[in-house]
A and B are shown apart, each in its own frame.
Chain A
Amino acid sequence: MSDIPLPPAGLRPAAARRFHAPTDEAPAARLVLILLAVLGLGVLVLAPLATVFAEALSRGIGTALASLSDPQAWSAIRLTLLVAAIAVPLNAVFGVAAAWAITKFDFRGKAFLITLIDLPFSVSPVVAGLCIVLTFGANSLIGGWLVAHGFPIVFALPGIVLATMFVTFPFVARELIPVMIEQGRAEEEAALTLGASGWRVFRTVTLPNIRWALLYGVLLCNARAMGEFGAVAVVSGKIRGQTATVPISIEMLYNEYMTVAAFSMAALLAFLGLVTLLIKTALEIRHADQLTAQRRH
């Protein structure tokens, strides 16, 4: 190709200026598209994010921190951490078990099981909360019995945990299943042939292979668990200092026109979201080969 003679030097500059590869868009079109993307994301996404911090700091950082150290704010933060500390590990156990059953065995109804696992993603959080209330509320069969035995679920911690688990249920399984399908069963089968026990195969062969995908799933699950509002709003009963999580407190403070306090709590969650995003991006850059290629949720 290189021995095709170039046009005389005098003709080249003008032509070169107008040239762009036929499989690229014109530079002007490219610029317009990039500006559109930057402007669109700036207005739609970055502006709201900036607003959270601007409103929280509108009376100075002292006021913001003071509103966070309020005893009720503390109890909300503690409750949110406690709910996540119960719901996220349980969902991680579920995710690993479901992914193991689905990817290491062939059984009838597998596709149906996967659909059922995905179900919570297409149910409104409010409907999810409603389902929990109808199942475990004091008026229901199960709930009535539990309340009679001194173990209320709705308007108490277990209900908030269940509602949170419902909406975050598919996160870990969804992340693990494609990764484990891609990795196949050969390594585990080799380990079994060499006489390793089932538990040892899981711990020393499978777990190291899926650890980054597992971390990724847990990370997304945790971010959603700490920020869940709709489902928790329905089941929590919003008892101040008892069943008000951080997102519920944000709503209560905002409705009482305690704007700075509401946005200080919001900034706390937004900060958590940003940290999540940072770790998530780092995982995607460093361990892309061990994560699901398709990032859907």
Chain B
Amino acid sequence: MTGRTMRHPFVQQSPMPGFGLAMGITVTMLSVVVLVPIAALLLKGADFGLANIWATVNRERIWKALWLSFRLSFLAALFNLVFGVVLAWVLARYRFPGRRLLDAAVDLPFALPTAVAGIALTALYAPNGVFGSVLADAGIKVAYTQWGILVALIFVGLPFVARTVQPVIEEIDREVEEASATLGASRLYTLRHVVLPMLTPAALTGFALALARAVGEYGSVIFIAGNIPLVTEIAPLLIVIQLEEYNYNAAAAIGIAMLLISFAMLLAINLIQIWSRRRIGHV
């Protein structure tokens, strides 16, 4: 061994060229676009002081908005968890006319800009809209209530669970199900005790992704929400309101609270992935 082949303390020796250039571009752009701006938010918070942040966040209007955002996001993600598994199962296992179309339609919420989805859902569920008028006859009001927010959050989170679970179903070894059937298990028993446990980690990952997306969602919600303080005001809207009043400290305080929630969820997603890798060997 000569000095030339000894391990570099940071990067291992490689015949591949361009590490400096690639790493330079990566770190520079990551810093300018993402890291420095997030650091600026945290610095603003440090400057404002923990006590002041707490005083800003600890108000009924903000707690109500954070709680509303989190609660409805959780319910929407829960709905998408169940519906997403059904969708993934139907798309992966059954062959029927129009399956490809259905498969592509699952991605529509990703392809449709949030503002477009927002005004479309509002038009659909407003009291004079196609769905809204029918629901109004039944005495149900959706647009400009918390139900409207829930509908919007279900829309934006719809693809996550379906898209994480579908590849897992496609990879399931059918022999496992055959073995279960041979041993006398009913189909329902096999699905419940053999198939479902295999889908759980992917489904939970999708659930967490849908939840994280819904908590931060803005565009598709603000049109249908009606934005009544204490009732249908979501957390991201409060940041926009503070910014419109040039109240940067308050905006930063709420932003930091939301950032902490996001980080907690990112951690949860990673823990789920580590747990599932240990359990089954893949996500």
Contact = CB atoms under 8 A, between A and B. Distances in A.
Answer whether A and B are interacting partners: yes
Interface of A: 22-26, 30, 33-34, 36-38, 40-41, 43-49, 51-52, 55, 90, 93-94, 97-98, 100-101, 104-108, 113, 115-128, 130-137, 139-140, 162, 165-166, 169, 185, 188-189, 192, 197-198, 201-202, 220, 223, 226-230, 233-234, 247-248, 250-251, 254, 259, 262-263, 266, 269-270, 273-274, 276-278, 280-281, 293-297
Nearest to A47: B124
Which bracket fits the contact residues of B? 35 or more
Nearest to B83: A40
B22 A55 contact: no
A227 B164 CA distance: 24
Contacts of B91: 37
Nearest to B202: A294
Contacts of A293: 167
A119 B34 contact: yes
15 contacts: A23-B174, A25-B191, A40-B87, A44-B154, A45-B106, A55-B120, A97-B29, A105-B12, A116-B30, A125-B216, A166-B37, A185-B16, A273-B116, A276-B111, A293-B167
The main secondary structure of chain A at its interface with chain B is helix
Contact of A30 (B25, B94, B105, B266): B94
Given A202-B18, A273-B111, A126 B117 contact: no
A251 B115 contact: yes
Given A97-B26, A281-B100, A266 B116 contact: yes
B240 A123 contact: no
A189 B15 contact: yes
Given A126-B240, A135-B40, 5 more contacts: A40-B86, A55-B120, A113-B26, A126-B255, A233-B240
A64 B24 CA distance: 48
Given A45-B105, A131-B255, A116 B35 contact: yes
Contact of B41 (A127, A185, A198, A259): A127
Contact of B40 (A22, A37, A44, A131): A131
B129 to A, nearest CB: 8
Contacts of B218: 124-126, 229-230, 233
A134 B94 contact: no
A140 B200 CA distance: 46
A68 B41 CA distance: 38
Nearest to A23: B177
B53 interface: no
B38 interface: yes
Given A37-B102, A135-B37, A104 B16 contact: yes
B34 A120 contact: yes
A248 B119 CA distance: 12
Contacts of B10: 107-108
Contacts of A227: 112-116
B262 A124 contact: yes
Contacts of A251: 115, 223
Nearest to B12: A106
Contacts of B258: 124, 127
A52 B120 contact: yes
A52 B117 CA distance: 8
Nearest to B119: A254
Interface in B233-271: 236-237, 239-240, 243, 248, 251-252, 255, 258-259, 262-263, 265-266, 269-270
A262 B123 CA distance: 12
B167 A294 contact: yes
A48 B216 contact: no
B14 A55 contact: no
Contacts of A115: 266, 270
B240 A105 contact: no
A28 to B, nearest CB: 12
